[in-house]
Structure 1
């Protein structure tokens, strides 16, 4: 059984959206603010999909193929 990562990193956002890694870092900070998280907390795949309105299956499929 393959373990799926729960956390999203800037490189993941870069690969999913086709944007730069710097954009990924900025987006993670915006998502943290949106959900009221502190800087040391992680963003989950569900939160990323909800905020960006990307289908959760797309994010999950990407994480399964990368891990």
Structure 2
């Protein structure tokens, strides 16, 4: 059976789990990241974008996405 590919997008629930903050705070953080990167309102934020903005290591973030 093939391995399930990792996600490249990060959602507010993921950010909430990673940071321990509320989903409302997580949505606001994702919105600030989009604004900083010049993305439109509905554009997806990648794990790479999130790590760059928060200075977290991708390996640490991916642990939350796998589990």
Q: Which residue of 1 aligns with 2:24?
A: 22
Is 2:35 the partner of 1:33? yes
Deviating above 3 A after TM superposition, structure 1's stretches of 4 or more consecutive aligned residues are: none
Q: What's the CA shift string for 1:20-67, capped at 9, x where partnerless? A: 0000000000000010000121000010011001111111121122xx
Larger radius of gyration: 2
Q: Secondary structure at the match of 1:38?
A: coil
Q: Which residue of 1 aligns with 2:7?
A: 5
In structure 2, stretches of 5+ residues that fail to align are none
- The alignment's C-alpha RMSD in Å is 0.8
Q: Which residue of 2 aligns with 1:63?
A: 65
Greater per-residue strand proportion: 2
Q: Which residue of 2 aligns with 1:51?
A: 53
* Count of aligned residue pairs for this structure pair: 65
Q: How high is the TM-score relative to the length of structure 2?
A: 0.91
